[in-house]
Amino acid sequence: MTAGRPRFRQGAGLAEWISIPLLLLIWHAAATILQDPTVPSPVAVVAELVAQVVDGRLLEDFAKTLARVAAAFAVSMLLGCAIGALLGRVRFADGLFAPWIVIGLNIPAIVVAIVCYIWMGLSEIALVTAVAINKTPLVATTMREGVRALSAEYRELAQVYRMSPWRRLRLVELPQLMPYLLTAARTGLSLIWKIVLVFEVLGSDGGVGFRIGIFFGFFDMTAILAYTLAFICVVFAVEYGAMRPLEQRILGWRPAQR
């Protein structure tokens, strides 16, 4: 069983490397067979992407969208972690606010966006607030489970050694919470990307979603896919350049599960 794990990981790594080229090959074959303007080839999409970059419009739109994503992510993570810690430690608070969390997890995001836009106007604050409201319950739920799963034995050990609250948090509790924190960050970020774009289509003065909405009005599928391709590149850069190295650095001590 153990000897088979390295071979399994090598196979998974090889499959991961050929995954995107395989997708591009299928895409190119579909475009060649269909010969439809709504199914442009990867070559046409890349050419459009380069044109948008040279024009400068794409970089400006992505700067606005990424700033909104970063702000909403920071707010939702801070609030979600604080709320999750409270609900995980205080049973009365958990019982009192559990229905609120359920409502926050299930209320349609578009409703929250419309309400925030009506109350605050079509502003950056309204957009970031709407996204944070939608994602904070998810982070809070994940962190609540993490706090509940904290080992009582480690807590008693910290008391025996008379650790200060800060030292206990840093050396005992935070290492146990890191898997939950990383899960909350990855799932929250993956959803924030999508919601920010939807809210930009609904009402904003720029950004990737705003630009895609304009392209949709002209049925410009090539430009839509060019922006989508650029967005995918950003997502891959965050995942493979930040999230996975961070996860490996923090959780690399754990035995392999695959």
Within-domain flag for 202: yes
Please report the pLDDT score of residue 79 as a whole number. 92
Do 131 and 190 touch, CB atoms closer than 8 A? no
CATH number for the domain harbouring residue 230? 1.10.3720.10
- Has residue 57 got a pLDDT over 70? yes
Please report the pLDDT score of residue 5 as a whole number. 53
Burial 80-110 (b: 16+ CB within 10 A, else e): bbebbbbbbeeeeebeebeeebeebeeeebe
Within-domain flag for 64: yes
Within-domain flag for 246: yes
Residues composing the chain = 258
- Has residue 225 got a pLDDT over 80? yes
Nearest Cα to Cα of residue 186 among 239, 143, 227, 224: 239
Residue at 72: amino acid letter: A
Within-domain flag for 24: no
Please report the pLDDT score of residue 252 as a whole number. 60
Do 38 and 221 touch, CB atoms closer than 8 A? yes
Give the mean model confidence (pLDDT) for residues 188-214.
84
Q: How far apart are CA 151 and CA 143, in angstroms?
A: 15
- Residue 242 is given by DSSP the state I
Q: How far apart are CA 150 and CA 132, in angstroms?
A: 27
Q: How far apart are CA 223 and CA 4, in angstroms?
A: 45
Kindly indicate the confidence band of residue 1, based on its pLDDT and cuts at 50, 70 and 90.
very low
Query: 202 CB contacts (<8 Å, ≥6 apart)?
Result: 110, 113, 114, 117
Q: How far apart are CA 81 and CA 74, in angstroms?
A: 11
Phi and psi angles of residue 217, each rounded to the nearest 5 degrees, phi first: -60, -30
Least confident of 114-123, 137-146, 173-182, 211-220: 173-182
Please give the structure tokens belonging to residue 206.
């720029």
**How many structural domains does the chain have?**
1
CB atoms within 10 A of CB 225: 24
Q: In this predicted model, what pLDDT tens digit does every residue of 238-255 receive, in sequence order? A: 888 877 787 777 766 555
Measure the CA angle with vertex 231, ends 227 and 237; round to 5°: 145
Q: In this predicted model, what pLDDT tens digit does every residue of 70-97 receive, in sequence order? A: 999 999 999 999 999 898 888 888 888 8
By residue range, what is the domain housing residue 222? Answer: 41-251
Within-domain flag for 154: yes
Within-domain flag for 70: yes
Please report the pLDDT score of residue 78 as a whole number. 93
Across the chain, mean pLDDT equals 82
Within-domain flag for 220: yes
Within-domain flag for 95: yes
